[in-house]
Amino acid sequence: MALAALRWHGYRSDNRYIVFQCLQHTLNLKPEVWRVLAQCHQLRNVAEYEGYLEVSDQLLAELINAAILLQTKVEAMPPVHH
């Protein structure tokens, strides 16, 4: 969804962290929101590459809230005009 918002604005990136950072500009999300997404992505990478995953209930709740907010903002975007 973050990548869709970036592309809606006409930009592309292969770097997931940059895509999250741009949410402040593409969807007007506060840094607290995109930082949760970036942190969870980093934890996912550690789990995948090192086999270690530890997630707190608080972080999970923050991730769910961030994802719901992100989805709401993306769904509210107008259609892309070519």
Q: What is the pLDDT of residues 2-18, one digit of tens each?
A: 999 999 999 999 888 89
Q: What is the pTM of this model?
A: 0.84
What's residue 69's pLDDT? 97
CB count in 10 Å sphere of residue 35: 16
Percent of the chain clearing pLDDT 70 (strictly above): 99
Helices 31-50 and 57-75, axial angle in degrees (round to 10): 120
